[in-house]
Structure 1
Amino acid sequence: MMSTQGARALKFAAAIALALGATACAKNAGDEASIAGGVGAGYGRGGAATPGSQQDFVVNVGDRVFFESDSSELSSTAQATLDKQARWLQQYARYNFTVEGHADERGTREYNFALGARRAEVTKDYLVARGVPASRVKTISYGKERPVAVCNDISCWS
């Protein structure tokens, strides 16, 4: 049986990930090493995520928002996640980050790159409107080149 999150990922056409790891630009080498320090970086004793670490962001805030198929409109669920992300990013202002736009394999390569770009931009605009400086945010579209889930069945897209 597929998990709810797995099913959700298959049902939605794209995700936006705030990539704080390898694409992070910390203010100094010490911060960068602690963020992109490999498996387990940012975890304290007992497996809890260290506040302000990449794992803290993923575990306690959420690093993805999902869109309906062929849409770049933010749902109320996506907005709630982005509100949490904006608060976290304001608290831990040392991070620059990249918003990634993705799409599924349907449609042309060009169309899906444009869709991914719209999704990334709408997400960036939402975060900026909530006080995250635009200078900290880069966007990239992967279109259908890096789908969230690979599935060629109609049930994945409904």
Structure 2
Amino acid sequence: MNKLTIAMVAGVALVATAGCAKKRPEQLPPGPGPTTPTPAPTPGPGTGVVPGSAADFKRSVVSDTIHFALDQYDIDPEARAVLDSQARWLAQYPNVRITLEGHCDERGTREYNLALGDRRANAAKNYLAARGVSPSRITTISYGKERPIALGSNEAAWAQNRRAVTIVLN
């Protein structure tokens, strides 16, 4: 009788813990791609700016930031022009890696804004990938409403905070 009780308790414990197992995500993120050493660039003649650097990126592209409408993550024509200039620059420097940061305004819950910021960063990543930039060179991160660029609780500040920013990694 004692062995039967122990076996039943063990069986109930196994069934109870089986429901608590962590579920595997539907889609796994890609693994790290192969890395090749990037030679150290030398400054351009008379500029002091190193070609392929973050400073060169900011100087060469239309902007490092695209903006979004309220609760949106679609790429509008203005954002396309910015991302097209970024794609052209990235094509010149195939070893440069970037991070796309997704941001939101202060409205909404933390969880909602983190998810929306992620969709914004990934929308920009997908657009750049469609323009020939290897997705393995692009990482994304969402900051939600945690890193506002403009302080204030009005439409002007909110519009500046709804953005995706491209950061060149050196």
Question: How many percent of aligned residue pairs carry the same amino acid?
Answer: 48
Give the greater-gyration-radius structure (CA). 2
**1:128 paired to 2:129:** yes
Aligned-pair CA distance for 1:152: 1.6
**How far does the alpha carbon of each residue in 1:102-154 deviate from its partner, in whole angstroms, 9 at most, with x for none?**
01111100010011000001000000000001111111000001122221234
For 1:70 and 1:112, locate their aligned partners in 2 and report how far apart those are by CA, in whole Å: 9
Matches within 5 A, 1:1-158: 27-28=36-37, 31=40, 45=46, 47=47, 49-61=49-61, 62-157=63-158
Alpha-carbon contact 2:106-2:158 (below 8 Å) kept? no
Aligned length: 124
Aligned-pair CA distance for 1:51: 3.1
Runs (4+) of structure 1 exceeding 6 A deviation are none
The change in CA–CA distance for 1:147 and 1:156 in structure 2 (over 3 A counts) is closer
The change in CA–CA distance for 1:153 and 1:132 in structure 2 (over 3 A counts) is same
What TM-score, normalized by structure 2, do the two folds share? 0.64
Aligned-pair CA distance for 1:94: 1.4
Larger relative contact order (CA 8 Å, sep ≥ 6): 1
The change in CA–CA distance for 1:65 and 1:48 in structure 2 (over 3 A counts) is farther
**How far does the alpha carbon of each residue in 1:27-72 deviate from its partner, in whole angstroms, 9 at most, with x for none?**
43763xx6xxxxxx96763x56443221111122021111122210
**How far does the alpha carbon of each residue in 1:60-114 deviate from its partner, in whole angstroms, 9 at most, with x for none?**
2021111122210111111001011011111101111111000111110001001
CA RMSD of aligned residues (A): 2.3
For 1:99 and 1:152, locate their aligned partners in 2 and report how far apart those are by CA, in whole Å: 25
Give, as a single letter, the amino acid of the residue that structure 2 aligns with 1:83: D
Q: Secondary structure at the match of 1:52?
A: coil
Aligned to 2:167: none
For 1:129 and 1:109, locate their aligned partners in 2 and report how far apart those are by CA, in whole Å: 30
